[in-house]
Structure 1
Amino acid sequence: MKYQFILPAYKQTYLKKALESILSQTYRNFEVIVIDDASPEDLKSVCNDFTDTRLHYYKNKVNIGGKNLCHMWEHCLKYACSEYLILASDDDIFEPEFLQLADKYTQIYPTANILRCNTRIISGEDKIEKEDSAFATSLFTLTEYMDIYFPKQVRCIANTLYKTSWIKKHGFCEYDLAWHSDNMTAFMAAKDNGIVLIGEKVLFNFRVSGINISSINSTPSILRKAVASSLFFSDLNNVIKGLPVNWIKRKIIKFKYIRSARLLFFSYAYNVGFIHLTTIFKSIYANKLFEWWTPFSILLKLSICILKSYKKSKV
């Protein structure tokens, strides 16, 4: 078997749509493994509605992902026996040509350990919110990927094909809530043999619905994401240092990530109360990617936003 979709599942809401999109692939030679992570919802009945023999259902005795999502991803690898695997999700949607085009490029670039496709963000009601720009598909070095494409692209785990032998050997980079784990794992996979970016059309729909980790913005979740982000950007700084480029190019790449990191930490600060800002700022200070004055610039921007909101409420 060349391809497997391995789908760790917990929520029933969009599972049927997700499975329909996988089983509707124009390339037919693959199998789908659904791993029910001890969900309280009846996921088995959803799977039983399909008569496709390529679909297989398993259920964990205890929940793994709720305690550590990366550990659940590692657990999924125990079921992997194909040449390439896609770690799917229970709410995202694959376009019908996803695997057909992926198969085309695995044949053109057989040494690559990772392939990623253009992606759009959709809402819980399937409304398009954002979409990657089209470009020519090619094999890119890690430096090219980090410099040109990664900052602009929609990032997630399920729009990615990993060579099974590589991911089983190296595993997923672990951060709390698996926040940025997909990104750092992609960097590591691209380090030696590059990354194939399938850019001629959007092949994957990443759902932000309010019930997945990406869109849950409760204060405890934000604080955990802030700590995970600090660790990620610290590790990212080391990756940038190791790029085979001159110091000027390295500074340019680093600046791009400093800018995106500032915006991310500002969003964290904006969505928690003042009482929790010290936790956010501690995460920033622990990160070597930032300058010492970064928390003050975020605090100033935060104060301006709050003042504008207050003035609007008085109008």
Structure 2
Amino acid sequence: MQMTNKLLFSIGVPAFKAAFLKDCIQSILNQTYENFELIIVNDASPEDLETIVSFFNDDRIKYHCNEHNFGALNVVDNWNKCLSYAKGDYFVLMGDDDLMEPDYLINFKSLIEKYPQLNVFHCRSNIINESSELIGVTPSWPEYESLCENIWHRLFTNRVQYVSDFVYRTEVLRSNGGFFKQPLAWASDDITAYMMIDVYGIAHINRPLLNYRRNPKTISSTGNVNFKLMAIKNEISWIKEFVAGVKPIEKKEYLLASLIENNIAKYQIKKQAYTCVHFFSKGFLFGVIDLMRVKDIPLRVKILSIALVFKRN
């Protein structure tokens, strides 16, 4: 596939919070590669997002407002609403409080030209706080990874990644049904990436091009624990079925697929336990009582969660 300077990126921002939206938009408009469209979809926010958007006089901005709020539980529906408006060759989904480095798009364009057969690409991210101060950096990856390598490292080596780290081929993302819907978008980005990687693989830029804002008000940091536990159950079921359908050719891929299948139950218990830590937000004793009241959580998950909290304290 031959690439040209006319390669068009679609950047979707499913917007709800006003606090950092202006900075987010400005970081996108500051891109050194200028052939992109910016799609902002206001999820019927009670905050005045339209005034913020109208501050920018740029015809690359396409602003839409939902009649009804999808809400945190169904936030993936707004992700896919952004995708529905996209006209570009490649699609990026940006959080409304995150920031792009000025050379985000130009670096991804170069990577796409190097690996034109791939459908998904990735970069490292800086992690910033509410004051935009650097508090961390996501780990490096190899420049190229196969499907089973990617799943293994995401599940079992504590690899940190975010949805805005990824660039997707638009037509393939659409043909896959868009972003995989999960309650609270819990693991939606991971499953979507696996579907896009498929038999082709994924290419990576080994430097931070995104600034991901760690914010106590994000859906990842809040949200109903029971919905998150439901999403974990869905995620595990999906991964089991997906990996079982993989037909590895190389010995390494076959080995990794077997390791994933043999260790997925341990991953599930660990992820459930860390999620249950949210029960302890009101204190240790109240947390133990609330956790023990939930019948659907296995006892070993409850014990591990209590141990994690006890160790932290």
TM bucket normalised to smaller: 0.7 to 0.9
* Counterpart position of 2:3: none
Q: How does 1:70-219 map to 2 (within 5 A)?
A: 70-138=76-144, 140-148=145-153, 151-170=157-176, 171-199=178-206, 201-216=207-222
In the alignment, which residue of structure 2 is the partner of 1:290? none
Cα deviation, residue 141, structure 1 = 1.6
Q: Offset at 1:305?
A: 5.2
Q: Structure 1 residue 268: deviation in Å?
A: 2.4
Query: Which residue is equivalent to 2:28?
Result: 22
Distance 1:97 1:279 in 2: 50
> Is the CA contact 2:31–2:104 (under 8 Å) kept in the aligned structure 1?
yes
Deviation string for 1:263-282 (max 9, x for gaps)? Answer: 32222223213354368662
- Residue of structure 1 in register with 2:231 after alignment: 228
Structure 1 position 282 matched with structure 2 position 296: yes
Q: In the TM superposition, what is the alpha-carbon distance from 1:90 to its structure 2 partner? A: 0.5
Question: What's the Cα RMSD here?
Answer: 2.5
Listed as ranges, the gaps of 5+ residues in structure 2 are 1-6, 280-286
Q: Runs of 5+ in structure 1 lacking a partner?
A: 285-294
Corresponding residue for residue 4 of structure 2: none
- SS of the aligned residue for 2:296 comes to helix
CA distance, structure 2, for counterparts of residue 101 and residue 196 of structure 1: 12
Partner secondary structure for residue 126 of structure 2: strand
Q: Call closer, same or farther: CA 1:260–1:281 in 2, change over 3 Å.
A: farther
Tell me the CA shift for residue 19 of structure 1: 0.8
Q: Closer, same or farther in 2 for the Cα pair 1:302/1:21, shift >3 Å?
A: same
Is this contact kept in 2: 1:118–1:204, CA < 8 A?
Answer: yes
Q: Indicate which of 51, 54, 77 corresponds to 2:60.
A: 54
Q: 1:276 to 1:244 in 2, by over 3 A?
A: farther
Cα distance change on mapping 1:308 and 1:186 into 2, 3 Å: closer
Residue-by-residue CA offset, 1:242-261 (whole Å, 9 max, x unaligned): 33456653343346655543
Please, what TM-score do these two structures have when normalized by structure 2? Answer: 0.84
TM-score, normalised via structure 1 length: 0.84
- Corresponding residue for 2:284? none
Alpha-carbon offset, residue 202 of structure 1: 0.7
Q: Structure 1 307/5 Cα, relative in aligned 2: closer, same or farther at 3 Å?
A: closer
Pair 92,29 (structure 1): closer, same or farther in 2 beyond 3 Å: same
Distance in structure 2 (CA, Å) of the matches to 1:6 and 1:304: 41
- Please tell me whether residue 242 in structure 1 is matched to residue 245 in structure 2: yes
- Alignment partners' CA distance in 2, 1:228 and 1:209: 21
Contact 1:65–1:71 (8 Å) recurs in 2:
no
Q: Which residue does 1:288 correspond to in 2? A: none
Percent identity over paired residues: 28
